[in-house]
Amino acid sequence: MKKILIALLLVLLSGTMLRAQGYRADTTKVSRVDSTLVGRNVLSVLGSGVTVNQSSALRSALERYVQNNASKKLTGYRIRVFYDNGQTARTRSESIARAVSNAYPGIGVYRTFESPNFKVMVGDFRTKDEALKVYQSLKATYPTALLLKDTINYPR
């Protein structure tokens, strides 16, 4: 009976210790992409005083990986800032796309025509959290902005 109690106690303690160390049985890995880094070399944001030593083979392998996956599409989020079919919709969509592109230079702006509507979509956000940060700032300028689940481009 003592052996059973000791074994049970050890099992409970090991479960408690694993939980304290941050292990969870139902954990799924979620990769997050900082959309402010899209189109930029990650090493360029490290700042001065930081030296990264890596082989040229590693750097070229990473660049090949990114190039090979650039045509892949993912499910993510975009923000629709314009959607209209009026007579001036074409010129308004062009000016809105240009204004958003100037205000948010690191984020993709996509202007499309789906008969009979012109629309302007912003961003390639993999998570809703990333999209909400930009959405909040866009909402002030574009009150009709809408956060939508969409097919996005592979992060570069």
Per residue in 112-143, pLDDT tens?
999 899 999 999 998 999 899 999 999 999 99
Whether 127 is covered by a domain: the verdict is yes
| pLDDT tens figures, 55-76 | 889 888 888 887 887 777 789 9
- Which position has the higher pLDDT, 35 or 72? 72
* Spatial CB neighbours of 100, under 8 Å, sequence gap ≥ 6: 81, 109, 120, 122, 138
- Which position has the higher pLDDT, 150 or 69? 150
Above pLDDT 90, what percent of the chain? 40
Whether 126 is covered by a domain: the verdict is yes
Percentages (nearest 5) of helix, strand, coil residues in the chain: 45, 20, 35
Domain count, the chain: 1
Strands, sheet with 117-125, edge to edge from the N-terminal-most edge strand:
109-114, 117-125, 73-84, 146-153
- Which position has the higher pLDDT, 46 or 33? 46
Whether 55 is covered by a domain: the verdict is no
Domain hosting 3: range is 1-49+72-156
- What is the domain-level CATH number for residue 116? 3.30.70.1070
Whether 63 is covered by a domain: the verdict is no
Q: Is the CB of residue 54 less than 8 Å from the CB of residue 122?
A: no
- Which position has the higher pLDDT, 35 or 148? 148
Average pLDDT score, the chain = 79
pTM here is: 0.58
DSSP state of 22: T
